[in-house]
Structure formats: C-alpha cells, structure tokens
Chains A and B, each alone.
Chain A
Amino acid sequence: MLNNITMGQYYPVDSRVHRLDPRIKLILTIAFIVAVFLAHSFVGYVILAGFLFLSCRLACVPFRLLLKGLKPLRMIIILTFLLNLFFTPGDDVWVSFWIVRITREAFLQALFYSLRLVFLVAGTSLLTLTTSPIALSDGIELLLTPLKKIHFPAHELAMMMTIALRFIPTLLEETDKIMKAQMARGADFESGNLLSRARAMVPLLVPLFVSAFRRAGDLALAMESRCYHGGEGRTRLRVLKITRSDWIACGVLAVLLGLIILEGIVLKGVLF
C-alpha cells in the first residue's frame, strides 16, 4: 500500500565525499549552485558535468541514482524546454509552420535553461545522497549558529527537523496499519466521489493525529526527564571537525568556480 515510498535518498556507503563535514558540503553545494548560474556557455556545462561525474565516482554513488533524482521534476524540465523553444525570438529559422517557429537560437536557449535545472537538481541530489538527514540538520544548525545573536532559534529548528525526519517512517508505518485496520472494518478509501473520499479519511486521520500527539507527548516527557532544556549550553557527543579533505574539497570548488568565471569572461557571447 504505502511501501512504494522510500524515505530520503541517502545512499549509505563509506566514501571520501560521505565523510566530508556536512557544513562544508552545504557550503560547497551552494558554491556549485552559484557556479551553475555563472556558466555562460556549453563549455561551462561540460566543466560542471565533468565535476559532477568525478564527484559521483569519488562518492561511490551510481550515476544513475543522481539522474533518478530528476524524475519528480521531469515535467518542469520538459515545460522549461518547450516554453523556451517556442517563445524565444531568433533569426536562424529551422522549422516554421502555422504559428510555430523554431529557431536555432531558441533551441540552444531551451537546451541551456533545461540543462541548468538538471545541474541544479543533480548537484543537490549529490548532497542528499551522500549526507544522512541527521548530519544534514546538524550542519544546518551549525551554519545558522551565528544567527543566534539575533535570537534566531537555530538549535530548535534543527531539533525539530531531526525529530520530524525520525518520525516520518514511523508515521508511515502507522498510517499503513490504521488504514488496514479500518479496511478490515469495511472502510473504503478508493472509490466514491471527492466528498465521500474526504469523509473516508476521517477514520484514518483521527487515530493518526491522536497517536502523533501521544508520541509527541511521550517524546517530550522522555527528553525532559533526561534534562533537555533547549540549545543553551548544550555540548555535542560528536563534535564536527574540519579535516584536510574538507580543505581539499574547498580548493577543488574554488578551482571550479574560477574556471567557470574565466569561461564567462573568455567565451561571453561566443555561443550565444
């Protein structure tokens, strides 16, 4: 029933990329996104693609998993391609019939913008494939720590994220169980019009909420009885440390950014 949903896409192997500090990986991902926007030509894209491919190899993640992350966004990517293809003005006409006009410029621009989306998604997928959700929220907390000065609840936010992630599989399991239990009493979740379907959700949602609240209460009690009192003065069991490979990774990204900027200066207007 619900077993076709797999949570998160973390690919648990041990690699150099997996071992990088999550904070660094977050920053590097942002740098990569900037690089994608700075790229001005297909030469830049070739550099980016090479970088992605090599990182993927280094992370021991199958390249096809990176492409799998594109699947949910395929409609948006196709739409971007088509809109650019049909509505970009140009001179070098390839195809022309009725009101449709496809030019060389339009085709290149459509390809360029849809590839940009592909790079953005693939780059962030590489982050989530190589960083466990827990490490990720840890990294986010630490990156947001400076904002605590202006009373931004960085720790609380990260704790909420961690707990939410922890409970998604539990709640899915619970949903599956309650659904089956109500089906055993003759509930019908599949047929009927919109209204009767919405009504059919009540026997599912009420027990689900009741149990979510019960779990939340239990968890709060368990946390308090272990003296949890928010982020104030809290130390960590595993302190994140920046290692040499983190610096190396930063260096690689710096080189990448440099190349892309250089490409922008040298090739500006060559392909476009």
Chain B
Amino acid sequence: MSIEVRHLTHCYSEGSALSTVALEDVSLTIEDGEFVGIIGHTGSGKSTLVQHLNGLLKPSSGQILINGEDLNGEQVNRRALRQRIGLVFQYPEYQLFEETVARDIAFGPKNQGLSKEAIDERVRYAMDCVHLDYQKYSERSPFELSGGQMRRVAIAGVLAMRPSVLILDEPTAGLDPRGRDRILSMLEELHSREKTTIVMVSHSMDDMARLATRLVVMKDGKILATGTPREIFSREALMLSAGLGVPAASRLCGALRQKGFDLPADLYRMEELREHLLRLWRHTGSEAGKGGPAC
C-alpha cells in the first residue's frame, strides 16, 4: 500500500481568530515496506501529519492518495480504510476501556465484523506480536497493568486489525528503557517478518538510528529534508536548525574525529561505530605492536 501526500496544508480552527497553520504544503510518498521515521521539534506538525494519513483529519487543501486513490474522495469507505492503515496515538494506554485485555484488543476486529473464532485468533496473534503472554494476561483488567504493558496492549489493539501500514505517534514517549526497548524490538520484528510498512514519529534520534530506513525532518509545519538516516544524521547543522540533535553514536564519532581518529563522517549506529573502532584498534595495534591510539 503506497501513501502519497500531495501539497497538504492543514489549518486548525480555520476562519476563527485562533486559526493556526499546522502544516504547509507538505508532499511525501511512503512506499510499500518502508520504515519511515518522522522527526521534528514539538509543535512541528508531526501528529497533525500522521492523522491525515488515515483520514482522521481532513486537509485544508491538498490530497492524500492511497494506492493512487484520493482518501477524502466521495465513495471511499474511510472506516474500512482506517483498519488497513492502523494508527497508534500518542499515549495510547489512555484509550483502553474494556474489562479485560483480550476484550479490549478485540474491539478493532469486532468492528471489522469478524467471526468469534477469527477475533480470538487475531487477539492471540496481536498479543504474541507485542510479547504479552495470552494465558497470563488475556483475562486481566488492562487498568491493573504497568504503564509499559498497557501501552503494549493498546498497540496490540491496533495490530489485531492486521493493518498493512502501521503508524505510531511517539510510541516510546514516557517509557523506561526496558519498556522502550521492548516496543522497538517488536516494531523491528514486525517490519522484517511481516513486511508491514511502518511510519513512526519520535523524538529519539537513537530510536530512529536503530530502525528507520528513511527519515523525514519537519520544522514549523514544513518538511525540511528527507533522506536515509545516514544522509540526514551526517548533516548536523541541519538537525540543529530543526531543533534536534543527532544520535549518540554520531556525536561520539564527531568528537573522536576531532581528536584525530580516522573515522568516516557518516556513522550513526553504535554497532558500526564499534566495528570501525575495533578495526582501527587492530590496525594500529598490529602496526605499532601495542594498544590503540591514546585518548
């Protein structure tokens, strides 16, 4: 499923005194199988953009094309479409409402009109995806779980609809490192195993460095740049002008290069930085017959 955004502009409370332009002439294409990361400072319009991708917000002007068809066209069944383009809101744990975890996750599939067996199968699948044990948790109340678990239940509620595109708005915000890692590895798995197209909004450059195949940098309702993480993260000045930082590995790499280490400028993942450093260390080690360069 490809999503194409064409010259999208969105104004909140259009025509009133409080009218704010949240998006201005945004164009973007999301291809099948991509993992797109949307980054930007608070208020740059990320959430507004992703809510357009499944028709929850209507553009003030511009279009969103799903497989070439206008999302806001007359005869499009947006309710059905929303189930194929799953959107996980920010702090999704606040939308849980059912008495048990299983019933909450079943809400989406039930709205799809599936049979009882199919719903049950979907619930098991979704709980498996988010690494929640069906036996242990399905009959628990979602309100007595920990914050990280609640969030995974909420994400499972969207996954249970088996969307072909999954959009997540800051899925790791406010979680402890373990909860965050759980969600990220779950997304990684979903992307590589199920070939789900994923669009993720995040503040964390390290999350993006780990997962995204393409980055979209937003500033003041406009797209500042798009490109692979390697291209984007090597442009530190661009990132700073968008009010963002670069991943820890990029920063470390930059500092080491200033100290005279012979490293490429565009490293952004910890693993590759470690590889390079190890190679450098072995190299100099074999030349000088002792340890690496002194720091």
Contacts and interface: CB of A to CB of B under 8 A. Distances in A.
B82 A183 contact: yes
A217 interface: no
B96 A186 contact: no
A50 to B, nearest CB: 29
A181 B161 CA distance: 14
B94 A185 contact: no
Contacts of B112: 186
B79 A186 contact: yes
B87 interface: yes
Contact of B82 (A3, A184, A207): A184
Contacts of B87: 181, 184
Contacts of B97: 202-203, 206-207, 210
A187 B87 CA distance: 13
B66 to A, nearest CB: 15
Given A178-B94, A207-B96, A185 B107 contact: yes
A181 B83 contact: no
Contact of B89 (A177, A188, A202): A177
Given A202-B97, A203-B97, A207-B94, A185 B111 contact: yes
B108 A186 contact: yes
Nearest to B111: A186
- Count chain A CB atoms within 10 A of each CB in B83, B89, B112 and give the residue with the most: B89
A114 B13 CA distance: 34
A-side interface size class: 20 to 34
Nearest to B56: A180
B135 interface: no
Contacts of A186: 79, 82-83, 107-108, 111-112, 161
Nearest to A190: B79
Given A180-B89, A207-B95, A188 B12 contact: no
Interface string B70-104: 00000000010011001111001011110000000
A205 B114 CA distance: 25
Given A202-B97, A207-B94, A210-B143, A185 B108 contact: yes
Interface of A is mostly: helix
Nearest to B57: A180
Given A180-B51, A185-B158, A186-B82, A3 B94 contact: no
B94 A211 contact: yes
B94 A184 contact: no
B241 interface: no
Contact of B54 (A182, A184, A187, A202): A184
B120 to A, nearest CB: 17
B258 interface: no
B92 A181 contact: yes
Nearest to B154: A181
A172 to B, nearest CB: 13
A174 B94 CA distance: 10
B104 to A, nearest CB: 9
A6 interface: yes
Interface string A208-251: 00110000000000000000000000000000000000000000
Contacts of A3: 12-13
B107 A188 contact: no
- Count chain B CB atoms within 10 A of each CB in A3, A182, A186, A188 and give the residue with the most: A186
A185 B161 contact: yes
Contacts of A207: 94-97
Given A3-B12, A183-B56, A178 B108 contact: no
A180 B92 CA distance: 11
B160 to A, nearest CB: 9
B111 A184 contact: no
A232 to B, nearest CB: 36
B115 interface: no
Contacts of A210: 94, 97, 143
Contacts of B51: 180
Given A3-B13, A202-B97, A203-B107, A185 B157 contact: yes
B16 interface: yes
Contact of A182 (B12, B13, B16, B95): B95
B146 to A, nearest CB: 15
A182 B107 CA distance: 9
Nearest to A6: B16
A182 B56 CA distance: 11
12 contacts: A6-B16, A180-B56, A182-B95, A183-B82, A184-B88, A184-B89, A185-B83, A186-B161, A187-B107, A188-B79, A206-B97, A207-B95
Instruction: Give the top 3 A-B pairs by smallest Cβ distance, nearest first.
Output: A186-B111, A206-B97, A185-B108
Interface of B: 12-13, 16, 51, 54, 56, 79, 82-83, 86-89, 92, 94-97, 107-108, 111-112, 143, 157-158, 161
Given A186-B83, A187-B111, 8 more contacts: A6-B16, A174-B94, A181-B95, A184-B56, A186-B111, A203-B97, A210-B94, A210-B97
